[in-house]
């Protein structure tokens, strides 16, 4: 080894982590047009007394979706990996033959993944109780989470994007519609199929069939929404290339009450049931009897969806559930306080931590690379470590990292959660290096050129793996 390389390594490994960035990382930053002052890096081998790198590690930065690691680790510890949510049906009337006379109540417990399939199973259980006709109203009890009338377009003026779906105690199927676009050359038109096909949503199809390359087809479609209370109109206009073939995309439309009510009526009818009452909000009275319920997936499975696929609304649901311990009505502020108290109890005060909604879809959430790294070191000694690490994308294999570094030595050797917002790129997780040592690796970047940072992140991951 040359004396210059030796001295560089000596600086890296023996200076209490206060070292300059490795040359491949510094060079990648320069190529990306990102100054080193806009970057926080923390690299710490499990079991070592001091970090390998601690570059500007104490400056609070926006972690984007990496904030989900804070929420999911706290959730696993506070609620337990086997925690389940319950969505319940109550009734306050009498059942005679197959007719229920009285009000039916659907009470939300905050399930982050109450899908159409789970809703169908719940209603099937109700049918199995002998209920066919409901002569009364359907009351939706969404009181567990305080309704702050959140605007789904507040973050980036994209209210129909599923990542902007707001949380709700009775969140159902992520409140999304799947629109499938199929070119029909015979009629020179584009057919749009909607699932679920709810009458509350009207589709206005002004698409035109076009020739040419498909490209990023969705960017050429203009989407307009018109909110009509419990109904909505979605207008789509613009060219759709025949070469695109069949494509699908998700849209979040309607309010929670309208979506759940419409889906209830659709599924109940498919199950052979009859319902002609109103759908309204309210709370389950003490005298009502529980007649059916549906349990959620275990939290150990829920966190995999949150972290591997960076699901924002599921993370927000989890933070609210943390704040609802004991059944009290929850807010994001209550959830954030519970997380910070938990971390402090673990010896992680993290004074620079700012939690707005726990998902990273925020302009104000902040954490430092060192605090995040110390949390990952602590999590590695936790009983929930296996569930926590397994929830992160495996580099080159799955989740949001399945296309990254998939033909390199590090593929399959690192569990890394990434995050991106305009002006922010982040990654955090665990790298198994070439000698079998597991290394906490954090990089937070806040800069106008952060969109160029993939190569910078890859350079650090390669360096940690091969060091």
135-163 residues labelled b (16+ CB within 10 A) or e (exposed): ebbbbbbbbbbbeeebebeebeeebbbbb
| pLDDT value for 152 | 84
| pLDDT value for 17 | 54
Instruction: Determine which of 123-137, 146-160, 402-416, 450-464 has the lowest per-residue pLDDT on average.
Output: 146-160
pLDDT one-digit tens code per residue, 219-264: 999 999 887 778 999 999 999 999 999 999 999 999 999 999 999 9
List the structure tokens of 230.
Answer: 């419990």
Total Cβ atoms within 10 A of residue 49: 7
| pLDDT value for 18 | 47
Task: Average the pLDDT over 55-81 and give the result.
Answer: 98
| pLDDT value for 151 | 83
Mean pLDDT across the chain? 94
- At 158, the pLDDT band (50, 70, 90 cuts) reads confident
Kindly report whether the global pTM for this prediction surpasses the value 0.75: yes
Residues 428 and 30: their CA atoms lie apart, in Å, by 21
DSSP letter string, 340-392: HHHHHHTT---TT-B-SSSSS--SS-BB-HHHHHHHHHHHHTSTTHHHHHHTS
| pLDDT value for 14 | 41
Helix, strand, or coil here: 430? strand
Where does residue 276 rank: exposed (0-12), middle (13-18), buried (19+ CB within 10 A)?
exposed
Instruction: Give the Å distances, CA to CA, from 74 to 334, 344, 345, 376.
Output: 13, 11, 11, 11
- At 11, the pLDDT band (50, 70, 90 cuts) reads very low
Task: Average the pLDDT over 321-331 and give the result.
Answer: 90
pLDDT at 15 over 90: no
Q: Set out the domains of the chain in order of their start, with CATH numbers.
A: 3-82+300-466 (3.40.710.10), 85-296 (3.50.80.20)
pLDDT at 4 over 80: no
285 preceded by a cis bond (ω within 30 of 0): no
Task: Average the pLDDT over 270-286 and give the result.
Answer: 96
Q: Is the dihedral of CA 431, 436, 439, 445 positive or negative?
A: negative
Helix, strand, or coil here: 115? coil
Q: What is the dihedral of CA 181, 184, 190, 192, to 10 degrees?
A: -50
pLDDT at 13 over 80: no
Instruction: Give the Å distances, CA to CA, from 83 to 76, 78, 295, 419.
Output: 8, 10, 10, 26
List the structure tokens of 175.
Answer: 């409140």
């Amino acid at each position: 080894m040359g004396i210059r390389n030796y001295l560089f390594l000596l600086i890296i490994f023996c200076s209490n982590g206060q070292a300059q960035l490795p040359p491949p990382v510094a060079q990648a930053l320069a190529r990306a047009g990102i100054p080193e002052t806009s970057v926080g890096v923390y690299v710490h081998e499990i079991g070592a007394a001091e970090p390998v790198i601690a570059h500007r590690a104490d400056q609070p930065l926006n972690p984007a979706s990496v904030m989900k690691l804070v929420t999911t680790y706290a959730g696993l510890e506070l609620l337990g990996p086997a925690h389940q949510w319950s969505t319940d049906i109550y009734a306050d009337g009498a059942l005679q033959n197959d007719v229920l006379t009285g009000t039916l109540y659907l009470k939300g417990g905050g399930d982050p993944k109450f899908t159409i399939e789970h809703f169908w199973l719940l209603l099937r259980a109700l049918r199995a109780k002998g209920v066919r006709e409901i002569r009364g109203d359907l009351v939706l009890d969404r009181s567990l989470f305080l309704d702050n009338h959140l605007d789904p377009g507040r973050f980036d003026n994209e209210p129909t994007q599923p990542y902007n779906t707001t949380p709700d105690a009775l969140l159902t199927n992520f409140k999304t519609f799947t629109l499938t676009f199929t070119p029909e050359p015979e009629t020179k038109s584009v057919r749009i199929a909607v699932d679920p096909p709810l009458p509350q949503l009207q589709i206005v199809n002004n698409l035109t069939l076009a020739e040419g390359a498909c490209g990023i087809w969705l960017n050429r479609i203009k989407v307009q929404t018109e909110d009509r209370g419990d109904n909505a109109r979605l207008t789509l206009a613009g060219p759709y290339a025949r070469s695109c073939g069949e494509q699908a995309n998700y849209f979040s439309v309607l309010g929670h009450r309208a979506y759940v009510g419409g889906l209830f009526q659709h599924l109940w009818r498919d199950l052979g049931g009859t319902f002609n009452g109103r759908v309204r909000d309210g709370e389950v009275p003490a005298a009502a009897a529980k007649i059916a319920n549906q349990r959620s997936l275990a939290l150990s499975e829920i966190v995999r969806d949150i972290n591997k696929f960076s699901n924002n609304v599921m993370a927000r649901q989890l933070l609210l559930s943390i704040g609802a311990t004991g059944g009290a009505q929850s807010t994001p502020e209550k959830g954030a306080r519970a997380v910070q108290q938990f971390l402090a109890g673990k010896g992680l005060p993290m004074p620079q931590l700012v939690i707005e909604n726990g998902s990273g879809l925020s302009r104000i959430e902040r954490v430092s690379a060192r605090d995040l790294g110390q949390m990952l070191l602590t999590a590695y000694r936790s009983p929930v470590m296996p569930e926590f690490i397994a929830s992160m994308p495996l580099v080159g294999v799955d989740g949001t990292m399945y296309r990254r570094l998939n033909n390199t030595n590090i593929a399959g050797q690192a569990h890394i959660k990434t995050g991106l917002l305009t002006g922010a790129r982040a990654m955090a997780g665990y790298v198994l290096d070439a000698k079998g040592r597991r290394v906490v690796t954090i990089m937070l970047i806040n800069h106008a050129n952060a969109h160029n940072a993939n190569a910078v992140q890859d350079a650090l991951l390669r360096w940690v793996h091969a060091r």
